[in-house]
Amino acid sequence: MARMPPTPPVELEEVHLHGHRVAYRHAGEGPAILLIHGVTSSSDNWDRVISDLAANYTVIAPDLIGHGQSAKPRGDYSMGAYASGMRDLLLALDIDSATFVGHSLGGGIAMQMAYQFPERCERLVLVSSGGLGREVSPMLRAATLPGSELVIPLLIKAGLLNAGRGIGGLMGRLGIKPGTDLEEVGRGWATLEDLDTMHAFIQTLRASVDPGGQRVDARDRLYLAGEGPTLIIWGERDRIIPAHHGREAHDLIPGSRLELLPSAGHFPHRDDPALFSSLLRDFIETTQPGMVDYERLRDLAMGH
C-alpha cells in the first residue's frame, strides 16, 4: 500500500466554544475541507493526508469533544450535538461552507451536519461510515453494556486494552486482522486509561450503538444526500463496519460515487493515503458544490 512521505505534523490550535476547549488542526488555503475522525481517535488520525490536501485546500481537522486534546465534559454526546459543535467551529473560523469528510463515527456526524445544515455542506464524503446499517464490531457493542464503565478500567489495568500484545490477541479473536486496523484500534482503546476520556467514549457510543449493534440509522433519509455530490470510500477488508454498508448506501444515494479499496481495512486514509487523497481531490475538482433548494427538500421529506 502506498504511504505518503513523512511530513512535519500540523500543530494543534484551540478555540473555546460554549466554555469548552476545542482543539483542531488548520492548514492550507483554498476551498475548505472538514475532516471528522471516529470514536476513540483524534485529528492526528488524518496526519497522512492533511499536508497533501493542504497544498490546494483549507483543511480543518478537529478533535471532537470528548477526544484528543479537546474538553471532555459530562454532557451531550449525541450525533446532533456533535454536528452542532462542528457547525460552531466553522463559524468560529469564519468558514461558511466546506466539503464534509467523516470517518466511522465521523461519517455519521457528517451526515447529521448535512441534514441539519445543508447550506454549509458543499459535498459529503463518507469513509467507512457509521450510521448505515446495524452491524458493527463485537467490541464496540460490548462497550455499551451496563457496567462497562467499571469493566474497561480493569481491562486496561490488566493490560488487555493496551496497544500491545493484549489487545492484539483479543482483536484477533474478534476477527480484526493485524495491520493498520489493529494498530489504530489499539491506540484508540489505550487512550481510555484517562477516566474522563473513557466516560466520554461510553456516552458517545451509547448514543449510537447498543448491544445489538448500531441503533442510529440514516438510510431512511439518504435520498436527501442525492441533492449534493456524495463520495463513499470503504476498505474491502473492513472488519469493524462491513463494506456492504457502503455498497447499499451507494444504491440509496442518487448520483453518488463509490470507491472500494481492495487492500484497505477500516482506515483507508491510513492504509493508502496517496490513493485516498487522489480520490478526494478528483471528487472535489470534478463536482460543483451542492445548492440548497429548501422547497425541494420539503417536498422530498414529505414524499411528494
Known catalytic residue: 104? yes
Beta bridge partners of 270: none
User: Choosing from 26, 37, 67, 266, which is the catalytic residue?
Assistant: 266
pLDDT number for residue 97: 97
Q: Report residue 28: phi and psi, to 5°.
A: 85, 180
Is residue 160 a part of any domain in this protein? Answer: no
pLDDT number for residue 163: 46
Known catalytic residue: 250? no
* Helix pair angle (195-206, 148-157), 10° resolution: 140
pLDDT number for residue 157: 65
Residues 6+ apart with CB under 8 A from 160: 166, 167, 170
Q: How far apart are CA 32 and CA 225, in angstroms?
A: 19
Give residue 257's region: left, alpha or beta (phi > 0; psi -120 to 50).
Answer: beta
Is residue 229 a part of any domain in this protein? Answer: yes
Q: Name residue, grid cell 486509561.
A: 193
pLDDT number for residue 166: 46
Instruction: Determine the structural domain holding residue 288 and report its residue range.
Output: 12-136+214-301
User: Choosing from 41, 43, 84, 104, which is the catalytic residue?
Assistant: 104
- pTM (two decimals): 0.89
Secondary structure in 3-state letters for 252-284 = HCCCCEEEEECCCCCCHHHHCHHHHHHHHHHHH
Q: Nine-digit cell at 77?
A: 454526546
Is residue 43 a part of any domain in this protein? Answer: yes
Is residue 126 a part of any domain in this protein? Answer: yes
The amino acid occupying position 44 is: D
Is residue 192 a part of any domain in this protein? Answer: no
CATH number of the domain within which 87 lies: 3.40.50.1820
Q: How far apart are CA 242 and CA 236, in angstroms?
A: 8
pLDDT number for residue 137: 87
Is residue 62 a part of any domain in this protein? Answer: yes
Is residue 152 a part of any domain in this protein? Answer: no
Give average pLDDT by consecutive 10-residue segment, the chain, 304 residues: 57 95 97 97 96 97 98 94 97 97 97 92 96 88 86 68 49 60 85 91 93 85 75 95 96 94 96 97 95 69 66
pLDDT number for residue 189: 84
Domain total for the chain? 1
User: Choosing from 238, 256, 271, 277, which is the catalytic residue?
Assistant: 238
Distances (CA, A) of 297 to 102, 241, 303: 23, 29, 10
Known catalytic residue: 266? yes
pLDDT number for residue 162: 54
Is residue 162 a part of any domain in this protein? Answer: no
